[in-house]
Amino acid sequence: MSNRLDGKTAVVVGGASGFGLATSQRFAAEGAHVVIVQRRSELAAEVAASLNGSSAECDITDFDQINEVTAQIVADRGSIDIGVNYAGFERSTPIAELTPELLEPMVQVQLIGAIWFIRAVGNAMSESGGGSIISTSSLTAQNPGRGLTAYASSKAGLEYATQIAALEYGEKLVRVNCISAHLIETPMTAQHFKNKLGIEAIRNNTPLGFMGHVDDIANAALFLASDESRYISGETLRVDGGAFTQKLPTVHDYQILAQARPDLLE
C-alpha cells in the first residue's frame, strides 16, 4: 500500500458489509481513519475496532440525525476529508404493483437520504478546506429493466444530484462524484447469485465477460477519494465491465440461454 489517504478521516455509510466493508478495509490500509456509519451499531463498532477506526449509529434518511452525527465526527476528528455513501436496498416491483409502502422507503434511502448525506458532509467539508464525496449508483440507472422503477429512478436522480452538488460545492474545493456499479455479489445481492441462469445471462451481456468483485468498487472509491482524482468532480464512474453498452437481459434472453445451457437450470 502507498498510504494515499494517510492522515485523512473517511466516513463510510454502510461501511460494515459489502461494498462498504471492502472500501473501509482499503481506506484503512491506505492510512485513513475510517468512521463506519450504520444503522446496525454493534456491527459497525465491531468492524471499526478491527480497523482501528470508529463508528456511529445513524439513519441517513433522518435529517436531524445525519447532521448531528456529522457534527460529532467533526468535533471528534477535527474535519471530514472523505465521505462515501453505500446505503441502499432493492426490491423489484412492476409499476402496476407499486404501492406507497414499496416506493417511498426506497426513494427515502437512495435519493433523499443520499442527498442529506451530501448536504451534511459537503457543508462540513466547506468549512475545513474541501474534500471528496462519493455516492453509489447502479448500471440500472441507465439500462432500463423490468421492476426497477423505484430503485433505478432513485439512482438516476442521484447521478443528476451529483452534478448539481459538484457545481454548488466546487468553489469550496469539495468534489462530488458517483460510482455506477454492475451487479456484484454482496450480502444484499446474494440471492441473485443463486440463479445461475440469470447470472450467466448477465455475464454474457458484459463485454469483459466476467462478473466484478467488491474490490473493484473499493478501488474506484479509493481513486475518487485520493488526490489522484483532484480535478474530477460531477462525474459518474462506471464500474461495470462495459455492460452499459448493452441492454439488461430479457425473458427472451433467458429462454435462449436455457435451451443452450440446460445445466444452468439444475
Q: Are 184 and 216 in contact (CB under 8 A)?
A: yes
Closest CA to 135 of 111, 107, 152: 111
User: C-alpha distances in angstroms, 38 versus 54, 67, 89, 94, 187?
Assistant: 11, 14, 14, 29, 15
Closest CA to 25 of 117, 113, 103, 17: 17
Closest CA to 151 of 129, 181, 124: 181
Catalytic annotation, pick one of 86, 151, 169, 254 = 151
Asked if 151 is an active-site residue, the reply is: yes
Beta strands in the chain (DSSP E): 9-13, 33-38, 54-57, 82-85, 131-138, 174-181, 236-239
- What are the φ/ψ torsions at residue 32 (nearest 5 degrees)? -80, 150
- What are the φ/ψ torsions at residue 204 (nearest 5 degrees)? -65, -25
Q: Where do the H-state alpha helices sit in 18-132?
A: 18-29, 41-50, 63-77, 100-107, 113-126
User: Between vectors from CA 251 to CA 243 and to CA 241, what angle results, nearest 5°?
Assistant: 10
Active site amino acids: 151
